[in-house]
Amino acid sequence: MTLRLYDTRTAQVRDFQPLEPGKVSLYYCGATVQGNPHVGHVRSAVAFDILIRWLEASGYDVLSVRNVTDIDDKILEKSSASFAEDFQPSPDYPAQEPWFALAYRFEQAFHQAYDALGVLRPRYEPRATGHITEMHALIQRLVDSGHAYPATDGSGDVYFDVRSWAAYGELTRQNLEQMQDAPDADPRGKRDPRDFALWKGHKSGEPETAAWDSPWGPGRPGWHLECSAMATKYLGEDFDIHGGGLDLRFPHHENELAQSAAAGHGFAQFWLHNGMVTFEGEKMSKSLGNTISPEEMLAEARPKAVRYFLGQAHYRSQLVYKPGSLQEAEAALERIEQFIARAHPDSTVDSRQGVPPAFQQAMDDDLNVPAALAVLHETVRAGNTALDNEDDDAAQALGSQAAEMLRILGISEVPEPQTAGGPGDAALGQLVEKMLSSRAEAKAAKDFARADAIRDQLASAGVHIEDTPQGTQWSVKSGG
RNA sequence: GGUGGGGUGGCCGAGUGGUGAGGCAGCGGCCUGCAAAGCCGUUAACGCGGGUUCGAUUCCCGUCCCCACCUCCA
């Protein structure tokens, strides 16, 4: 069975055939680095990370590219606000900061969040500001072919002429005539209100550092242009997959497609979009204030559990977060991990050969992770049964499969938060061992009241204990 | 107004024209001094109204509701 993926443009699940056998070229939209990452960013990153890992497990060489939008209106606004007289410092924006410093700082915050969740770094991670030359070439090409024009109001803007491109709207199957005009659309020097900026002329008051010379006057790139320019540079005029959040379909991806296609490029064969994360069903957004940040999630549960949670729904589905979600993920994950630890799996092969056919089928079916997880849980149950029956060979085989599934989903690849190593650890260990030996003595003396009191005492301190045939095991329960 | 996607058991969340995933939570049992972990069993769902069909949660029509996008957004 081959991989099938849902393509937004054709609105159907299709067989995935890469342009070049054995290789996959993938571009997915990263963040505009104007603030700290929120859960939606990392959900998207996890979704495409799972895609990449599955492609690699299936034997493909994946050339992945994720952009960093490090120049845009919001970045300039946030920076400019930090220099305003009424500036109120906040944790995210603590001090006066030039736009490029602000962008750089948040770019690093994004890396931290991605790394903490085991998201593989893309092969290339180009910044918009590093590709002005490529953007100019693309604009010129569009101007020359009659699909773009300099603004008629002398602003220095250059717009894409949507009416010059008959296919405009094809990605989201929208009819230009029936689109709702943006209520705050600024017609400026546009031929049509829906024309979008390829290049934004420099305005007085904006920092000089945010302006680049161009044939149309000094200015800075429009948002959509960078992705077209960079995807083409790193992946070619035709490539396999373009991804991003559902909210990017329009206008961002629609415009990307229009400008690239109008420039004569084939562009992406497949358009993939991940669903939104909601807070109890409502869209999370800063303006609504119902957000939970990746940082807050990581404070509440182990990184692996956070990753499990973010990946557990189908990537195209809405992912509902609610208080308790992370604890549920933690419980499910612990069951898997405990089985694997008891099964002593072989060193696993990192490929689709190491997982059950049902798991392969689920993943091949447009990355049906929920169904794949069902296979994983069934494997765990079968493995536990084997352990109970002391069938160690079967348990080990199932353990290897479970470990491999966890690895392909990227969950076991999430780095453990560093907790060990401090001098406190040794002290804690000694104290716990001391109490456990007291408890063992009490148990031996059949003084169960005292034994249970010790267990309760440890529990109230967050130390969880478990009597096993190999003796009493203990662990510190993380989070709430 | 346009476009896309939804409404599944207490919660999360797949899927299918006929024997109704999986997880979390709950209940009963085994195990345990009691627990924990694990195993076994178990409770429980397909928005509403029609239609097609031997049979629909799955297809069709209607209807209600929800979400996203059409403005910066993963």
Domain boundary among A248, A274, A300: A274
If asked whether residues A136 and A221 sit together in one domain, one would say yes
Judged by C1' against the alpha carbon of A335, the nearest nucleotide is B37
A68, two tokens: 């960093």
If asked whether residues A149 and A285 sit together in one domain, one would say no
Residue A416 lies in a domain: no
Would you say A131 is a known binding-site residue?
Answer: no
Residue lying closest to nucleotide B32, CA to C1': A467
Question: How would residue A461 be classed by pLDDT, with cut points 50, 70 and 90?
Answer: confident
Residue A415 lies in a domain: no
Which residue carries 């091949």 as its tokens?
A364
If asked whether residues A118 and A256 sit together in one domain, one would say yes
Least confident of A12-16, A161-165, A187-191, A278-282: A187-191
Would you say A252 is a known binding-site residue?
Answer: yes
If asked whether residues A263 and A230 sit together in one domain, one would say yes
Which residue carries 């109230």 as its tokens?
A460
If asked whether residues A270 and A287 sit together in one domain, one would say no
Q: Is the pLDDT of residue A350 over 70?
A: no
Residue A8 lies in a domain: no
If asked whether residues A203 and A299 sit together in one domain, one would say no
If asked whether residues A108 and A255 sit together in one domain, one would say yes
CATH, residue A99: 3.40.50.620
Contact status, residue A314 vs residue A368, Cβ threshold 8 Å: yes
Strand order across the beta sheet in which A148-150 lies: A148-150, A158-160, A196-201, A219-221
Residue A423 lies in a domain: no
Which residue carries 């002391």 as its tokens?
A390
Domain boundary among A210, A240, A274: A274
CA A210 – C1' B47 distance (Å)?
53
pLDDT of A255 reads 95
Contact status, residue A275 vs residue A246, Cβ threshold 8 Å: yes
If asked whether residues A36 and A126 sit together in one domain, one would say yes
If asked whether residues A187 and A260 sit together in one domain, one would say yes
Residue A159 lies in a domain: yes
* A257-288: pLDDT as tens digits: 999 999 999 999 999 999 999 988 777 766 66
If asked whether residues A444 and A350 sit together in one domain, one would say no
Q: How many domains does chain A have?
A: 3
Residue A468 lies in a domain: yes
If asked whether residues A309 and A341 sit together in one domain, one would say yes
CA A271 – C1' B50 distance (Å)?
38
Residue A66 lies in a domain: yes
What integer is the mean pLDDT of A27-54? 95
CATH, residue A344: 1.20.120.640
Q: Is the pLDDT of residue A213 over 60?
A: yes
Q: Is the pLDDT of residue A305 over 70?
A: yes
Q: Are strands A61-66 and A148-150 parallel, antiparallel or unpaired?
A: unpaired
ipTM of model: 0.94
Contact status, residue A69 vs residue A76, Cβ threshold 8 Å: no
Domain boundary among A274, A295, A315: A274
CA A394 – C1' B53 distance (Å)?
46
- How many Cβ atoms sit within 10 Å of the Cβ of residue A201? 23
If asked whether residues A211 and A261 sit together in one domain, one would say yes
Q: Is the pLDDT of residue A480 over 60?
A: no
CA A298 – C1' B63 distance (Å)?
44
Residue A1 lies in a domain: no
Least confident of A113-117, A188-192, A310-314, A315-319: A188-192
- Give the three-state DSSP class for A10: coil
Would you say A74 is a known binding-site residue?
Answer: no
Q: Is the pLDDT of residue A182 over 70?
A: no
A289, two tokens: 């204030």
pLDDT of A296 reads 93
Would you say A29 is a known binding-site residue?
Answer: yes
For residue A65, what are the domain limits? 14-274
Quote the CA–CA distance of A79 and A96 in Å, as a whole number: 7
